[in-house]
Amino acid sequence: MKIALVGNPNSGKTTLFNALTGSNQYVGNWPGVTVEKKSGKYKGDKSIEIIDLPGIYSLSPYSLEEVIARNYILDEKPDAIINIVDGTNLERNLYLSTQVIDLGIPMVMAINMADVMEKRDEKIDTKKLEKELGVKCVLISAVKNELNNLMETLRSLKPSEERAYLSDDVEEAIQDISSLLKDKDFKRFIAIKVLENDPKIIEKEKIEPGIISRAKELALGLGQKYDDDIESIITSKRYDFISKVTGNIYIKKHSASESISDKIDKIVTNRILALPIFVLVMTLVYYISVTTVGTMATDWVNDVLFGEIIPPAVESFLTSVNCVPWLSSLILDGIVAGLGAILGFVPQILILFVLLALLEECGYMARIAFIMDRIFRKFGLSGKSFIPMLIGTGCGVPGIMASRTIENERDRRMTIMTTTFIPCSAKLPIIAMIAGAFFNGAWWVAPSAYFLGVAAIIVSGIILKKTKPFLGEVAPFVMELPAYHIPTLGAVLRSTWERGFSFIKKAGTIIFLSTILIWFVTNFGFIGGQFRMLDTLEIEYSIAATIGRAISFIFIPLGFGDWQATVATLMGLVAKENLVVTYGIIYGFAEASEEGAEFWGTLASSFTPVSAYALLAFNLLCAPCFAAIGAIKREMNNAKWTLAAVGYQCLFAYAVALMINQFGNFLVYGIFDVLTMVAVVILLAMVYLLLRKPKAHSLKTIGGAQD
């Protein structure tokens, strides 16, 4: 006998699974994906196999977990299902339950958290609930091992009767399709999915074209009647049913004052306050990590550790062993200077990681996604896109990979294209360097870079959504807001360590190799027809300067058309930290590190605060590092789309940096010339792209038809 556990995340599935199976467990992966698969034998009867399916909110095709869970059920046809629901949150959990009921597999609903309900003095009439739903219901407490007669009930299960609980017109349509499915299993469930035009089910069940077109016809009829798409209609009918059920079954409803979590959410996710609070929180995060605490530590690492301690020690060691000049230059002016420049920013990066981990652990990040969903939705964008961006604040590569949870291909591509606009931790040193060197460490520089990234994502989203490849309905996004809780030290440390360690690994490999390359190209060159190592004063003849000068004209409109900035930007493609590393090597590390004064002096001729900010903006928004481009290529799985993504990013970055430089020059220095006019034209073009109306007929595709 095979029994599947189905339930929302956090409903207690794993706890129940462990209680039922004890140590008889097998953990593996679902074929082809990295979602964990757990199965085991029931302690009391080894002939019963239990599968812990991934936690899900529905059986729609929008996330990997959902697809895995429903494919398992459709393919393996378990003999019974335990649908575990969180009794303290019945209404939300029943959405999935109705869909499981549609399957018609013998099912028992295990209403978990009975202990909490008892404590809250909350009582449910399970007999009534059984009648309403047509399935057996038992109260359990998985943590207390109070599994009462769950297994007894299971043994005596009969197939659940087919229930028609949606509105009559919808039920008629379901009946219509269901009668065409002849001898298929799970008729009701499949009929609903075919009506919803679920491409995965249609393909999997090999639904005939005749049935599909009949379903489209029915969906169109309902769609016109309700002026909505069929999926939303069915969803809202489900909720109608659920609220009728939950209105009937409580003997005593939990009425105690709302929890602290609810109270916090009232403010934090409030329609008006949510956004200002989000801005405030992220400003604080950057203020603390870049401007205050982080800077103190960074100054010490830069000035003392990599200023007074390490370089002199290395230098005297090299002298004492009579190191050849080129090697000691490579070590001192290349590796130590380059790595030193970047390692100085480690404290700031670590503090950013700690703060991000705190926000994740306490539950605020989930709220940000919720808030952003509300905003994104207004523009026809999927709120799901924001999850990869939150992850991208640490590193763009996992951020891009997180786009996998977006099932709709258009939304997924768009998310992949825009995720790296969010400043990742590798861009933090660039931000901190520019803030320190050109803005006297002003507090607003770092948060402004973050919000520039957010704005770039929203603006790109709106612009792209109106172009042909991205037109279409947005997939619904159901998300649970977990209760706030105090983060545990262990979890914060683990998350910080994981991110921090991957940074250290990067510094030890790719950045280390970059320092050697940068040192080589800045210290060697042709001079007087001869290729040789150069003196400090001959840097203008270096390979870097030669290559940089050849292409630097591109950046003149952006305000940083010198070879140094060009080389730094190019090296930034290898790893964004290289921007700082390059300046560290070119200007000699000691100068790059010191709070601006000398650095400023060296750069004064080629930068103004305006053009420095344009340099920052360009490097934040343009093509990400090679690792992230690789991730884009893997996820897009298509060379053309990869090129389109990187091309779009560079173009967008160029346009934004040009506007910043030109408008900045006009506002600050009153300069108005041809390039200012170009900036005006770009601005107008952007406004047009933002405001234009997409072709209306293709936007509304009934039943969420996929192309």
Q: Which stretch binds Mg ion (CB under 5 A): 12-20, 100-108, 355-363, 415-423?
A: 12-20
147: contact with ligand GDP by CB under 6 A: no
**Cα distance between residue 675 and residue 554, in whole Å:** 13
* Smallest distance from Mg ion to CB 10, Å: 8
Q: Do 143 and 219 contact (CB within 8 A), yes or no?
A: no
**Residue 355 binding partner per list ligand GDP, Mg ion, none, with a CB distance cut-off of 5 to 8 Å that depends on partner kind:** none
Q: Which DSSP state fits 47?
A: T
SS3 assignment, position 3: strand
Q: Closer to ligand GDP at the Cβ: 483 or 671?
A: 483
- CA–CA distance from 248 to each of 89, 137, 244, 689 (Å)? 15, 15, 7, 51
How many degrees, rounded to 5, is the angle at CA 132 between CA 129 and CA 138? 30
Q: Of residues 7, 294, 394, 548, which one binds ligand GDP by CB under 6 A?
A: 7
**Residue 89 binding partner per list Mg ion, ligand GDP, none, with a CB distance cut-off of 5 to 8 Å that depends on partner kind:** none
Q: Which stretch binds ligand GDP (CB under 6 A): 7-15, 131-139, 256-264, 664-672?
A: 7-15
14: contact with Mg ion by CB under 5 A: yes
Kindly tell me the burial class for residue 623, based on how many C-beta atoms sit within 10 Å of its own C-beta (0-12, 13-18, 19 or more): buried
Q: Of residues 63, 93, 99, 141, which one binds ligand GDP by CB under 6 A?
A: 141
Handedness of CA 642, 643, 649, 652 (dihedral sign): negative
**Residue 115 binding partner per list ligand GDP, Mg ion, none, with a CB distance cut-off of 5 to 8 Å that depends on partner kind:** ligand GDP
* Smallest distance from Mg ion to CB 69, Å: 12
Q: Closer to Mg ion at the Cβ: 16 or 288?
A: 16
SS3 assignment, position 576: coil
> Which residues in 116-135 contact ligand GDP (CB under 6 A)?
116
Q: Closer to Mg ion at the Cβ: 24 or 232?
A: 24
15: contact with ligand GDP by CB under 6 A: yes
112: contact with ligand GDP by CB under 6 A: yes
* Smallest distance from ligand GDP to CB 87, Å: 8
Residue number of the CB atom closest to Mg ion:
14
Kindly tell me the burial class for residue 606, based on how many C-beta atoms sit within 10 Å of its own C-beta (0-12, 13-18, 19 or more): middle
Size of the site for Mg ion (CB under 5 A): 1
Q: Of residues 3, 4, 6, 14, which one binds ligand GDP by CB under 6 A?
A: 14
Q: Closer to ligand GDP at the Cβ: 33 or 650?
A: 33
**Residue 116 binding partner per list Mg ion, ligand GDP, none, with a CB distance cut-off of 5 to 8 Å that depends on partner kind:** ligand GDP
Helices marked H in 393-511 — which ranges?
396-401, 409-418, 428-438, 445-465, 489-506
Euclidean distance between the first and final Cα of the chain, in Å? Answer: 41
* Smallest distance from Mg ion to CB 25, Å: 12
Q: Closer to Mg ion at the Cβ: 35 or 478?
A: 35
* Smallest distance from Mg ion to CB 84, Å: 10
* Smallest distance from ligand GDP to CB 36, Å: 11
**Cα distance between residue 430 and residue 453, in whole Å:** 14
Q: Closer to ligand GDP at the Cβ: 10 or 175?
A: 10
- CA–CA distance from 188 to each of 5, 195, 235, 604 (Å)? 21, 11, 15, 72
**Cα distance between residue 408 and residue 505, in whole Å:** 34
**Cα distance between residue 689 and residue 515, in whole Å:** 42
* Smallest distance from ligand GDP to CB 488, Å: 12
**Residue 9 binding partner per list ligand GDP, Mg ion, none, with a CB distance cut-off of 5 to 8 Å that depends on partner kind:** ligand GDP
Q: Do 361 and 491 contact (CB within 8 A), yes or no?
A: yes
Q: Of residues 79, 115, 595, 598, which one binds ligand GDP by CB under 6 A?
A: 115
Helix (H) or strand (E) segment spanning residue 48: none
SS3 assignment, position 31: coil
566: contact with ligand GDP by CB under 6 A: no
* Smallest distance from ligand GDP to CB 78, Å: 17
Q: Closer to Mg ion at the Cβ: 17 or 618?
A: 17
**Cα distance between residue 167 and residue 240, in whole Å:** 9
661: contact with Mg ion by CB under 5 A: no
Q: Of residues 33, 35, 74, 143, which one binds ligand GDP by CB under 6 A?
A: 143
| Residue burial 564-600, b: 16+ Cβ < 10 Å; e: rest | bbbbbbbbbbbbbbbbbbbbbbbbbbbbbbbbbebbb
Q: Of residues 9, 441, 500, 694, which one binds ligand GDP by CB under 6 A?
A: 9
**Cα distance between residue 602 and residue 593, in whole Å:** 12
Question: At which residue do the structure tokens 């190191």 appear?
Answer: 323
Q: Closer to ligand GDP at the Cβ: 312 or 482?
A: 482
**Cα distance between residue 517 and residue 617, in whole Å:** 25
Q: Of residues 142, 242, 459, 603, which one binds ligand GDP by CB under 6 A?
A: 142
Q: Closer to Mg ion at the Cβ: 14 or 460?
A: 14
Q: Closer to ligand GDP at the Cβ: 110 or 565?
A: 110
**Residue 113 binding partner per list ligand GDP, Mg ion, none, with a CB distance cut-off of 5 to 8 Å that depends on partner kind:** ligand GDP
* Smallest distance from Mg ion to CB 14, Å: 3
**Cα distance between residue 587 and residue 600, in whole Å:** 11
Q: Which stretch binds Mg ion (CB under 5 A): 10-18, 332-340, 471-479, 549-557?
A: 10-18
**Cα distance between residue 395 and residue 353, in whole Å:** 11
Q: Do 646 and 629 contact (CB within 8 A), yes or no?
A: yes
Angle between helices 428-438 and 445-465 (to 10 degrees): 130
Size of the site for ligand GDP (CB under 6 A): 16
Q: Which stretch binds Mg ion (CB under 5 A): 11-19, 193-201, 362-370, 470-478?
A: 11-19
Q: Of residues 40, 54, 55, 664, which one binds ligand GDP by CB under 6 A?
A: 55
SS3 assignment, position 577: coil
* Smallest distance from Mg ion to CB 55, Å: 6
For residue 310, give every residue at least 6 positions away whose Cβ sits within 8 Å of its Cβ, in sequence order, or none.
336, 340
- CA–CA distance from 490 to each of 346, 425, 452 (Å)? 21, 22, 33
Q: Is 169 left (phi over 0), alpha (psi -120 to 50) or beta?
A: alpha
> Which residues in 583-602 contact ligand GDP (CB under 6 A)?
none
Q: Do 453 and 360 contact (CB within 8 A), yes or no?
A: no
Q: Of residues 3, 4, 6, 13, which one binds ligand GDP by CB under 6 A?
A: 13
What residues line the site for Mg ion (CB under 5 A)?
A: 14
What residues line the site for ligand GDP (CB under 6 A)?
A: 7, 9-15, 55, 112-113, 115-116, 141-143
